[in-house]
Amino acid sequence: MNVNIDPSWKTQLQAEFEKPYFKELAEFVRQEYRQHTCYPRGKDIFAAFDHCSFYDTKVVIIGQDPYHGPNQANGLCFSVKDGIPHPPSLVNIFKEIKVDVEKPYPKSGNLERWADQGVLLLNATLTVRAHQAGSHQNKGWERFTDAVIQTVSKELEGVVFLLWGGFAKRKANLIDKARHHILTSGHPSPLSANRGLWFGNQHFSKTNVLLAQKGKPLISW
């Protein structure tokens, strides 16, 4: 099956694309995009991989579902397109960065600038029907993105995984802890952040310390 994705990832994931579940998933997604408004745009479904090639991957952030409002989702978890108001979780991410690494709160919520530096912004589910959160869950995307995490774990070394909230933390069992670093905290959503489970985690400065220890370029958050 021909999937339009960055060649470095295509080489690593080709066997996954040939499996029956993925063919069923691809047909489901095609039908959904034909019959309903879905996000992100078709050409952005694999944007996380297109902006962050396999061998450039230094950090992995795991989200759950794309934003399901108009013009929000751009294929990167927690990210929105330029000019779109920042959703609450993204606001809290930027607030933590401002305190942690003393970086001014940015105008744009488009995180392509992170992805281009080697941050894989991976949603567990890569598509969603408009205004219906979770509508494309349990159709095969989670199996695919779990395979992505396992491939990164097996084939790369010294990657920093940022697992925010209960859903992301459950992905820790897919990661070889002897080869990689895992940082966990509460989710940046207001519900979690307001209970003191997000602010002060210092994940952005800690990530750069770990990258520096491996002699890797730091992320400009």
At 209, the amino acid letter reads V
Q: What's 173's DSSP letter? A: G
CA–CA dist 57, 140 (Å, integer): 23
Number of helices (H), then strands (E), in the chain: 9, 6
Where are any strands of DSSP class E within 105-216? 119-123, 128-129, 160-164, 181-185
Nearest to 49 by CA among 183, 40, 188: 40
Give catalytic residues, as residue numbers.
65
Q: Which residue has the tokens 């800690």?
A: 206
